[in-house]
A and B are shown apart, each in its own frame.
Chain A
Amino acid sequence: MTLEAGMCSNGHVSYPTHPLCPECGEPQEETFDLADRTGEVVTWTHSTATPPGVREPNTLAIVEFDVTDISGASDEFVRALGQVTTDEVETGDTVEPVYVEELRDPDAGIKVPESQDWDGYRWDPV
């Protein structure tokens, strides 16, 4: 499992990946893993009215990863949304991705369980 970001030939970076770059329409031919990086919390919330199969409260954060070291990247950062391992989080916190096999109960919601992956990464404050 990776936290895979995509990059086009013009160096635009996105997470998640898209077949064509949302910025310029060129194919995203390169990918790289964000899972071994740390990121910074841009914003967060404690979601307390959660749908069936989702933990409550569900603390979520949007995290910004610096990608200036990626060769060929013209974007300076890429953002990703994810659950937080703890309810104690603040804007500006440094977090690292930790792998979780099942982020919510695949059988409880409206989506067909087989239609998508249910594993992924939570943000763990460093």
Chain B
Amino acid sequence: MGVAVIGASMTKFGQRDAWIRELLSQAGEECLTDAGVAPDDVEHLYVSNMASGEFEGQTGIMNLLAHDLGVLPAYSERVDQTSSSGGAGIYEAWQSVASGASDMTLLVGGEKMTHKTTGQATDIIASITHPDEYKHGVTLPSFAGMTARHYLERFDAPRESLARVAVKNHRNGVDNPKAQFQKEITMEKALESPIIADPLRLYDFCPITDGSAALMFTTEERAREITDEYALVSGIGGATDTHVVHERDDPTVMGGVVESSEQAYEMAGLGPEDLDVAELHDMFTILEFLQLEGIGVAEQGTAWEMAMDGATAKDGELPINTSGGLKSKGHPLGASGVAQGVEIYEQLVGEAGPRQVEADTALACNVGGFGNCVITTIMEAAE
């Protein structure tokens, strides 16, 4: 059964006073309105969230949101796949409609993080690692630092290429009123910012963020009755890589990205050459390179050249992260994959405003952990 997206919403991302309950209900309510769907019509509700219990002490948030939105007695479920919870939510929502289990599925992703110190938030995120990694004090940024060093040394890539990713995504974020940062940065600023995990500096990392985003899924048939403006989920794939990061055969290959994108391309009957725009999980600048290579847009060890050439800029041959990416939009863990979906949906239905590019086919790649779990989604504009 063809699965369509008929509505999208996103709260302001950033440092918010709202707690998880309010963030989720705000995005959920706006999505119902955007889709023109009554709460009664929702049959499944998925809530993507990594750690509301650890961050705030609030658990059972699928039930909380279902009640607050008046979608009872809809089936509800919380989806946790760490940083790729949002993408996993898209996968669940797609499955629910594709299988015929639900005719109308609301997906809301959200996270409340900024009330914790940076150290505490880093520790909650680092708790996803294997005990033999965690005890060494490893953090996700330190994996990024080690991988970036290996990439730069092995492929003789200039350090500037990483900074270009940050500058580009901050530039894109200026046009996104929901982004945490709407300000351009210079190469100098990126290259002279404090070291976080050598060779990576502050501007190679996304911030800690509160926020929520939502998408409404239904059958293609029902979408046609409701609206002219919808997108189709034409391909989706999910895959898991090693839990222990150093056990991967090649430290610069994200197997989950390769595997999930191959599945998504196969389902859609498309290839990397067919993409018009993509949202990649730039939690760290180096990840944009690894994903461009993993989804087959660039050969291994060459994605940095695309950053240097401007090929991934908004006016380049394949615009990457027109939303500003996690880098400037922010990264409320469970919301991020859903927000990627919001951006590609808006690009496909022509609602991206100043960020609009010409696009009929779009891809989103949502990475959990350090490539541990990955969901790749391909959407196409309705005919």
Contact = CB atoms under 8 A, between A and B. Distances in A.
Contacts of A47: 137-139, 141-142, 145, 196-197
Contacts of B137: 47, 50-51, 53-55, 58, 60, 83, 103-104
B16 interface: no
A82 B134 CA distance: 10
Given A42-B150, A43-B146, A45-B146, A81 B251 contact: no
Contacts of A62: 146, 246, 251
Interface stretch (A24-32, A66-74, A111-119): A111-119
B380 to A, nearest CB: 36
B354 interface: no
Interface centre among B54, B138, B242 (most CB of A within 10 A): B138
Nearest to B200: A45
Contact of B118 (A16, A49, A82, A104): A49
A50 B131 contact: no
A1 interface: no
B114 interface: no
Nearest to A104: B137
Given A79-B246, A81-B246, A118 B135 contact: yes
A117 B142 CA distance: 21
A19 interface: no
Given A22-B242, A110-B124, A52 B141 contact: no
Nearest to B245: A81
A44 B197 CA distance: 9
Contact of A52 (B123, B133, B146): B123
B251 A43 contact: yes
A116 B196 contact: no
Contacts of A15: 247
A91 B120 CA distance: 30
A14 B134 CA distance: 18
B202 to A, nearest CB: 9
B199 to A, nearest CB: 8
A111 B131 CA distance: 9
Nearest to B152: A43
B132 interface: yes
A43 B134 CA distance: 18
A49 B196 contact: yes
B134 A111 contact: yes
Interface string B143-160: 001110110010000000
A103 B132 CA distance: 11
A80 interface: yes
A125 interface: no
Contacts of B200: 45
| Residue in A16, A47, A48, A49 with the greatest tally of chain B CB atoms within 10 Å | A47
B127 interface: yes
A48 B194 contact: yes
Contact of A45 (B119, B132, B142, B244): B142
B56 to A, nearest CB: 14
